[in-house]
Chains A and B, each alone.
Chain A
Amino acid sequence: MSIFGGTISSLEKGLDYSAVKHKTIAQNIANVDTPNYKARSANFEAIFSEAKHATVSAYRTQEKHYDFKMQPTSSNVTRFANLRYRHNGNGVDMDKEQANLATNQIYYNALIDRVSGKLNSLQTVIKGGR
């Protein structure tokens, strides 16, 4: 059994997701006045499955069946190609982006808090409760 018990690495993946999400939000807000720009979104599933290297695959009796093996996609950022909010073809919803920004910040802080909590517990154990 490892000393960190997988908690830290799981939280780390969450932090990775949060960082990518923040970058997409920054990109979307940066391009709020760019004509024909389409909003992007960080894909939690893709990042998580990529991180965990899922090995579950479907039992297929016919080749036309969908194989729902979670394949690490080439990109973990999706684009909403047919979204339009403004007359110039721009697809950024500023309210949504700001809300996502606030949510993501809290999520990130929560994860950091848990990492710190875990490390503090270990510290307590190492010092023998003193």
Chain B
Amino acid sequence: MSIFHGMNTTASALTTQRLRMDVISSNMANVDTTRAKFVDGEWEAYRRKTVTLKPLEGRFSNFLNVAVGTYEKGEAGNGVKVSRINEDRETPFKLVFDPTHIDADADGYVQMPNVDPLREMVDLMSATRSYEANVTVFNANKAMLSKALEIGK
């Protein structure tokens, strides 16, 4: 276990939360995008993207360190990572009646993205709060390390 292990853990979380914010930004930016993908000769509207997180475990360096006895099994952990970015295929597209729209179907309905701005805002707040919490941890870690340097002064 190195001195900066805690900082690395927190850094992984900061990266993750920032990526969540990026994905939310993408969703918000594409709230009206009707031509995101060209499928079978037709344009498909943008699909809301979601982020799946998982603990950062099972890395090669972990197993190596356990094998050579640098540290023990089941130690504090290595942080968090984004396992994948999914497209939301559960929520249906919103149908808007607009016959003048270029992507309107025969009945005059346009398929708009399944992005719900309210939901995105709630997710954004959640990501921001988690980011702030991790910044607090990082600062605490920094304070502890600088305090350790004061030994003997």
| A interface residues with partner B (beta carbon < 8 Å) | 15, 18-20, 22-27, 29-35, 37, 40, 42, 74-77, 79, 94, 98, 101-102, 104-105, 108-109, 112, 115-116, 119
Q: Determine which of B13, B74, B77, B140 lies in contact with A22 in the assembled complex, contact meaning CB atoms within 8 Å.
A: B140
Does the CB pair B133–A23 fall under 8 Å?
no
CB pair B133 A94 closer than 8 Å = yes
Q: Does A26 lie within 8 Å of B9, measured CB to CB?
A: yes
Tell me which of A25, A29, A35, A109 contacts B147 (CB under 8 A): A109
Q: Could you pull out 20 A-B pairs where Cβ atoms are within 8 angstroms? A: A18-B144, A20-B76, A22-B6, A22-B140, A23-B76, A23-B77, A26-B6, A26-B7, A26-B9, A26-B141, A30-B80, A34-B80, A74-B72, A75-B75, A77-B75, A98-B133, A104-B140, A112-B147, A116-B150, A116-B152
Q: Are A22 and B144 in contact (CB under 8 A)?
A: yes
The reply to whether B144 and A115 form a contact with Cβ atoms under 8 Å apart is no
Q: Does B62 make an interface contact (CB < 8 A)?
A: no
CA distance in complex: A31, B12 (Å) = 10
Interface of A is mostly: helix
**Contact partner, B134, options A30, A79, A108, A116, Cβ 8 Å:** A30
> Considering the complex of A and B, which 6 residue pairs feature the smallest CB-CB distances, nearest first?
A30-B13, A75-B74, A23-B76, A27-B77, A26-B9, A34-B53
Contact A34 B54 (CB under 8 A): yes
- Looking at chain B, what size class is its interface with the partner chain? 35 or more
**Cβ A33 vs Cβ B130 within 8 A:** yes
Q: Work out how many contacts link A and B, with CB atoms closer than 8 A.
A: 118
Q: Contacts A32-B130, A101-B137 given; indicate if A27 touches B76 (C-beta within 8 A).
A: yes
Which residues on the A side are within 8 Å of B136 (C-beta)?
98, 101
**Residue from B9, B72, B143, B152 within 8 A of A30 (CB atoms):** B9
The complex places the Cα of A112 from the Cα of B143 at a distance, in Å, of 12
B73 interface contact, C-beta 8 A: yes
- The interface bits of chain B over 110-148 (1 if a CB of A lies within 8 angstroms of the residue's CB, else 0) are 000000000000000011001001101100110110011
Is B39 positioned at the interface, with any CB of A under 8 Å from its CB?
no
Q: Please measure, in the bound complex, the distance between the C-alpha atom of A10 and the C-alpha atom of B16, giving whole angstroms.
A: 38
Q: Is B10 an interface residue (CB 8 A)?
A: yes
Complex Cα–Cα for A116 and B150 (A): 8
